[in-house]
């Protein structure tokens, strides 16, 4: 399972924050600096806004939040976050994680997934922590089943618990605080009493708080403090006021990556009878579309309707059975219908995604909340009283996941649907918005299909009672085909004939389909524009805080005609879902998959390690009363290191040292850990006992030198392979990047004539000097600052963001990189000139020094002389 682009951006945000934290050694300062310099959405935290100044909820402990909408893969993101988090701590810091969840259903699901070695969550942890991972639930922890002082030193210990198991004031639920003889291995003295909570305090764990909006009470914060954490990571779609948010993800990004069924199409009917008929008819049509997609190679999909009944008293629970009887009366098979309420759970033990499962209809009120998940759920049909607003917000998030996170060729299968019959429809729509908000989306993510009803019908208008009595079977005005008939006439090998009478759509379903297709077309255009410009809409939460620069009116037409080429790779033999072979935007990781690290040169100079330790120790002296979260320069002699030194067999000692160094070197995707381990074993081949002893006492700088050596070998390999693939036309240039109509800026630059944007991003003195001279050239039409990590990138064997893009009146596009005379830039020069040679005569690349003469580069005066001719 590979991270989606927005998930990579989130991990990059976290990593950037950790780097700033390491540098500043100040929690509040690092948070403010992180946002001020953010490449995508730079802003300044300010009281009253969505991102406020840092809140020191647990004194002295970094505590940050990832805001990810429902279906955005929060758990997988957090699994990927543990490696960079632990990398900021000393080697002997116990790799213990307390993973807190809000409910038993989420608890069971999380434990099950992380305990399964074939699940992507566990696979990620195994890859990041060298297969040394132990997962514990509350029972295993209290019984000391594999959880002991030796185990926590050797492994990543993932302790998955519910909030209530630690924060409850009920004594029966506070076993974690009681003395526990099963945990005596953690005792530091013979007479010390230990409890699970005291062990956690001792281990100074990293805490992951899932659905953290449920853990902001005074009792919850007190629980976090008692755990004595070293780092706290919150995961939620709806952060509360105490959250220190370091990453946002918008609904647009999830839609672009085919994670969610958006927008939500909302349709109001005149009667509950019409709701039922439309739900059955729409579901049948969706399943027929799914069969067509399956015939074209798509995965099987069995669309499900959630029927939401009106809340009833306990005596009226038979209502659910009556609804079930009504569906059977309409020709639905009993095996396709299940009831899920607080008192009745017919979904227990069922795998709704299984091809053997027949369920197509689920009857509930609001029992499907957090923790219940089925991507096959497409339609939420409310059978609530017609004179009440429909409370859909509790379960709307349950229908938003897109099956298999794969876009379907039929757009109807890429959206979700809410069907109602309410006189208070405007109130119902507000509940839809609240439901989207609860799932981390916004009011922009739904569309209303029955505008005529909304315009003509006041929310409180009296209407004749519905002719349908839900306590008796409904007599449909239109006979809806049964699923049984569908099964008889259609199989995965059979095509659906849209002209068949059984498939003719009612006016309501026609309206729903028309709006769905229209909205899909609009969103697809936005997605394509986003891919061309590299820009996505700013998350709605941040719009007020982000400062945006806009293209000047007189340059809009000229700039819109520019599409800068980027490198693409021909992916021979790789299928792109249903659409055959394709060319993909080049990333250097594509070439590293065949990188022969095990054969690379192992000559690494470790002679100056002691000097480097001394230097690091001086640089990393902490400020008074400020927590420091930096790696220590000189490692302590751990029991693991002592044990390795005691091994007499040299080959065994080498392998154990290599295993330890692999963990310190860290993941270098896509280079496999096994390749890194073999390389390190070769590095250690010449080590004697004295060298092993020195390495084990100074393993962090040793690992840093090894990582640098591996990175240098990888960079050289990618450069050589890139040139080879470029010469064979397997890598080509294609028009790809267009200027964004507006883009965020962090620091306003000087006002210089002919700038494309108002304002432009800031620049240094030499850059300002060069740009001022460029603006004074008569043949220059406009120039713009190209921002690092967010604007145009020459995506070759390195990712190179030239400082400026210039357009001349003759139509030449010049990419300009400025460099101080003391800086080397051989790789940028090489890649930039390669790009220009392949891009064509209308493109130029120039790296400019002030006075330094360098092959392939220009001095400032040489560059200005050339610019006059272009």
DSSP code per residue over 370-439: TT---TTEEEEEEE--TTS----TTTGGGG-BPGGG---SSGGGGSEEEEE--TTHHHHHHHHHHHHHHT
pLDDT for residue 709? 96
DSSP 146: S
Is residue 286's pLDDT more than 50?
A: yes
pLDDT at 467 over 80: no
Does the residue 845 lie in any domain? yes
With the C-alpha atoms ordered 222, 227, 232, 235, is the resulting torsion angle positive or negative? negative
Residue 603 lies in a domain: yes
- The answer to whether residue 572 is domain-embedded is no
Tell me the average pLDDT across 105-118. Answer: 92
Predicted local confidence at residue 450, as pLDDT: 53
Q: What is the pLDDT of residue 131?
A: 87
pLDDT tens-digit series, residues 751-777: 899 999 999 998 899 999 999 999 999
Following DSSP, what letter does each residue of 599-627 receive, concatenated?
A: GS------TTHHHHHHHHHHHTPPPTT--
Task: Give the pTM.
Answer: 0.78
Same domain, 244 and 347: no
Report percent pLDDT > 70 for the chain. Answer: 84
Q: What is the pLDDT of residue 326?
A: 85
Q: Can you state the angle between helices 689-697 and 650-665, rounded to 10 degrees?
A: 20
**Are residues 402 and 335 located together in one domain of the fold?**
yes
- Residue 495 predicted with pLDDT over 50: no
Lowest mean pLDDT, pick from 239-243, 448-452, 645-649, 838-842 = 448-452
Q: Using pLDDT thresholds of 50, 70 and 90, give the confidence band for residue 196.
A: very high
Classify residue 448 by its DSSP letter.
E
- Spatial distance between the Cα atoms of 719 and 714, rounded to a whole number of angstroms: 9
Say if residue 245 is in the same domain as residue 275.
no
Q: Say if residue 150 is in the same domain as residue 23.
A: yes
Question: 780: closest CA among 760, 759, 801, 752?
Answer: 752
Q: Return the CATH number at 111.
A: 3.40.50.300
For position 852, which CATH number holds? 3.40.1350
Q: Calculate the dihedral angle through the C-alpha atoms of 740, 741, 746, 751, rounding to the nearest 10 degrees.
A: 120
From 509, 530, 551, give the residue that closes a domain: 530
Among 56-60, 294-298, 663-667, the minimum mean pLDDT is found in 663-667
Q: Is the pLDDT of residue 798 over 90?
A: yes
Q: What pLDDT does residue 386 have? A: 67
> Distance between CA 787 and CA 793 in Å, rounded?
9
Write the pLDDT tens digit of every residue in 336-362.
Answer: 999 888 778 888 888 889 989 999 999
Q: Are residues 420 and 304 in the same domain?
A: yes
Confidence of residue 499 (pLDDT cuts 50, 70, 90): very low
Contact criterion met (CB below 8 Å) for 585 and 566: yes
Specify if 517 maps to a domain. yes
pLDDT of 222 reads 84
**Confidence label for 130 from pLDDT (cuts 50, 70 and 90):** confident
Residue 672 confidence (pLDDT): 85
**Averaged over 686-690, what is the pLDDT?**
87
Tokens, residue 787: 């921002």
Above 80 in pLDDT, residue 500? no
* Mean pLDDT along residues 93-117: 91
At 166 the three-state DSSP class reads helix
Picking from 404, 402, 358, 364, the residue whose alpha carbon sits closest to that of residue 380 is: 364
Question: Which of the residue ranges 199-203, 405-409, 539-543 would you say has the lowest mean pLDDT?
Answer: 539-543
**Residue 257 shares a structural domain with residue 234:** no
Mean pLDDT (whole number) for 27-55: 89
* Domain edge (last residue) among 250, 266, 281: 250
Domain membership of residue 562 (yes or no) is: no
Q: Are 269 and 454 in contact (CB under 8 A)?
A: no
The answer to whether residues 133 and 229 belong to one domain is: yes
- Identify the DSSP state of 40: S
Q: How confident is the model at residue 488 (pLDDT cuts 50, 70, 90)?
A: very low
Helices (H) and strands (E) in the chain, counts: 28, 27
Model confidence at 632, in pLDDT bands (50, 70, 90)?
very low
Q: What average pLDDT does this structure show over 142-155? A: 90
Residue 262 has pLDDT above 70, yes or no: yes
Structural domain total, the chain: 4
Q: How confident is the model at residue 201 (pLDDT cuts 50, 70, 90)?
A: very high
pLDDT tens column, 715-752: 999 999 999 999 999 999 999 999 989 888 888 888 89
Which carries the bigger pLDDT value, residue 846 or residue 214?
846
Mean pLDDT of 444-450: 76
Task: Give the CA distances from residue 325 to residues 90, 159, 321, 331, 359, in Å, rounded to whole numbers and listed in that order.
Answer: 64, 45, 6, 10, 15
- Mean pLDDT taken over the chain: 83
Q: What is the pLDDT of residue 497?
A: 35
Domain range for residue 621?
Answer: 597-713
516-527 pLDDT, tens digit per residue, is 888 888 888 888
Q: Is the pLDDT of residue 670 over 70?
A: yes
335 plus 460 within the same structural domain: yes
Q: Which residue has the tokens 């603006």?
A: 775
Based on the domain organization, do 335 and 293 belong to the same domain? yes
Percentage above 90 pLDDT, the chain:
42
The stretch 57-72 carries a mean pLDDT of 91
What pLDDT, on the 0 to 100 scale, is given for residue 367?
59
Digit-coded pLDDT (tens) for 394-433: 678 888 899 988 888 888 999 999 898 888 777 778 878 7
Whether 112 is covered by a domain: the verdict is yes
Whether residue 577 lies inside any domain: the answer is no
Is residue 446 within 8 A of residue 396, CB to CB? The reply is: no
Interatomic CA distance for residues 323 and 318, integer angstroms: 9
Highest mean pLDDT (candidates 300-304, 492-496, 742-746): 300-304
Residue 13 has a pLDDT of 95
Structure confidence at residue 567 as a pLDDT band (50, 70, 90): very high
Residue 176 structure tokens: 């974690």
Pair 158, 241 in one domain: yes
Can you list the pairs that 292-298 forms with residues at least 24 positions away whose Cβ atoms lie under 8 Å?
292/410, 292/495, 292/496, 293/408, 293/409, 293/410, 293/413, 293/578, 294/492, 295/492, 295/493, 295/494, 295/495, 296/409, 296/578, 297/577, 297/578, 298/406, 298/408, 298/409, 298/577, 298/578
Q: Does 160 lie in the same domain as 118?
A: yes
Of the residues 250, 266, 296, the one at which a domain ends? 250
Select the highest-mean-pLDDT range: 187-191, 310-314, 477-481.
Answer: 187-191
Verify that 652 and 755 share a domain, yes or no.
no
Tell me what pLDDT residue 350 has: 87
| Residue 204 pLDDT greater than 50, yes or no | yes
């Amino acid at each position: 399972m590979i991270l989606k682009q927005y998930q990579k951006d989130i991990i990059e945000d976290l990593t950037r924050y950790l780097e700033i934290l390491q540098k500043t050694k100040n929690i509040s300062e690092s948070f403010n600096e992180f946002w001020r310099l953010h490449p995508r959405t730079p802003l300044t935290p300010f009281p009253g806004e969505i991102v406020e100044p840092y809140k020191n909820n647990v004194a002295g402990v970094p505590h940050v939040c990832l805001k990810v909408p429902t279906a955005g893969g929060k758990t997988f993101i957090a699994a990927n976050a543990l490696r960079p988090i632990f990398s900021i701590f000393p080697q002997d810091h116990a790799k213990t994680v307390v993973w807190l969840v809000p409910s038993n259903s989420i608890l069971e699901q999380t434990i099950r997934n992380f305990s399964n070695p074939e699940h992507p969550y566990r696979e990620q942890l195994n890859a990041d922590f060298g297969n040394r991972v132990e997962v514990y639930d509350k029972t295993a922890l209290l019984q000391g089943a594999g959880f002991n002082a030796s185990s926590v030193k050797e492994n990543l210990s993932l302790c998955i618990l519910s909030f209530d198991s630690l924060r409850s004031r009920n004594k029966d639920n506070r076993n974690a605080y009681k003395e526990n003889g099963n945990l005596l291995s953690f005792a530091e003295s013979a007479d010390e009493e230990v409890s699970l909570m005291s062990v956690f305090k001792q281990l100074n764990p990293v805490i992951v708080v899932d659905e953290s909006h449920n853990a902001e009470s005074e009792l919850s914060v007190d629980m976090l403090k008692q755990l004595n954490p070293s780092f706290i990571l919150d995961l939620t779609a709806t952060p509360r006021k105490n959250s220190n948010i370091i990453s946002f993800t918008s609904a647009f990004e999830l839609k672009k990556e085919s994670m969610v069924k958006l927008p939500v199409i909302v349709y109001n009917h005149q009667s509950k009878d019409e709701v039922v008929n439309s739900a059955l008819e729409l579901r049948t049509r969706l399943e027929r579309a799914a069969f067509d997609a399956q015939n074209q190679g798509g995965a099987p999909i069995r669309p499900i309707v959630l029927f939401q009944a009106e809340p009833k008293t306990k005596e009226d629970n038979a209502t659910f059975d009556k609804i079930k009887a009504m569906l059977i009366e309409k020709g639905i098979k009993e095996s396709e219908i299940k009831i899920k309420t607080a008192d009745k759970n017919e979904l227990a033990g069922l795998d709704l995604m299984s091809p053997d499962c027949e369920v197509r209809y689920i009857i509930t009120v609001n029992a499907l909340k957090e923790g219940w998940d089925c991507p096959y759920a497409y339609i939420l049909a409310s059978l609530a009283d017609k004179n009440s607003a429909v409370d859909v917000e509790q379960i709307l998030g349950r229908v938003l996941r897109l099956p298999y996170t794969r876009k379907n060729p039929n757009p109807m299968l890429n959206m979700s649907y809410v069907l109602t019959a309410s006189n208070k429809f405007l109130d119902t729509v507000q509940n839809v918005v609240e439901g989207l908000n609860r799932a981390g989306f916004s009011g922009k993510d739904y569309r209303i299909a029955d505008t005529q009803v909304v315009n003509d019908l006041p929310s409180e208008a009296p209407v004749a009672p519905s002719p349908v009595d839900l306590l008796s079977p409904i007599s449909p005005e239109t006979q809806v085909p049964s699923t049984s008939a569908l099964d008889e006439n259609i199989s995965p090998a059979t095509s659906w004939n849209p002209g068949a009478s059984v498939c003719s759509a009612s006016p309501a379903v026609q309206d729903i389909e028309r709006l769905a297709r229209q909205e899909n077309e609009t969103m697809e255009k936005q997605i394509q524009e986003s891919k061309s410009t590299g820009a996505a809409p700013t998350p709605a939460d941040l719009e007020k805080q982000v400062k945006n620069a806009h293209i000047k009116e007189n340059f809009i037409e000229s700039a819109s005609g520019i599409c800068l080429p980027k490198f693409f790779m021909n992916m021979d033999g790789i299928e792109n879902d249903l659409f055959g072979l394709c060319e993909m935007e080049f990333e250097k990781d594509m070439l590293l998959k065949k990188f022969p690290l095990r054969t690379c040169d192992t000559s690494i100079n470790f002679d100056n390690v002691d000097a480097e330790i001394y230097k690091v120790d001086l640089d990393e002296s902490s400020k008074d009363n400020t927590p420091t979260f930096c790696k220590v320069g000189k490692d302590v002699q751990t029991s693991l290191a002592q044990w390795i030194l005691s091994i007499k067999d040299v080959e065994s000692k080498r392998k154990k040292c290599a295993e330890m160094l692999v963990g310190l070197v860290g993941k270098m995707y896509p280079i496999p850990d096994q390749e890194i381990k073999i390389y390190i074993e070769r590095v250690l081949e010449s080590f004697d006992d004295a060298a092993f002893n020195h390495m084990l006492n100074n393993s962090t700088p040793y690992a840093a030198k090894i990582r640098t050596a591996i990175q240098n070998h990888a960079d050289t390999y990618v450069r050589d392979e890139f040139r080879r693939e470029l010469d064979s036309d397997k890598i080509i240039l294609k028009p790809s990047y267009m200027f964004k109509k507006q883009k965020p800026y962090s620091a306003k630059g000087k006002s210089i004539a002919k700038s494309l944007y108002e304002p432009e991003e800031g620049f240094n003195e030499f850059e300002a000097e060069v740009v001022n001279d460029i603006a004074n050239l008569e043949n220059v039409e406009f120039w713009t600052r190209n921002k690092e990590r967010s604007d145009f990138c020459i995506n070759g064997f390195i990712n190179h963001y030239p400082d400026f893009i210039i357009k001349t009146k003759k139509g030449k596009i010049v990419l300009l990189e400025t460099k101080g005379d003391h800086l080397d830039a051989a790789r940028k020069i090489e890649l930039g000139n390669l790009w220009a040679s392949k891009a064509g005569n209308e493109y130029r690349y120039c790296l400019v020094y002030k006075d330094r003469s360098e092959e392939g580069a220009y001095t400032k005066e040489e560059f200005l002389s050339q610019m006059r001719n272009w």
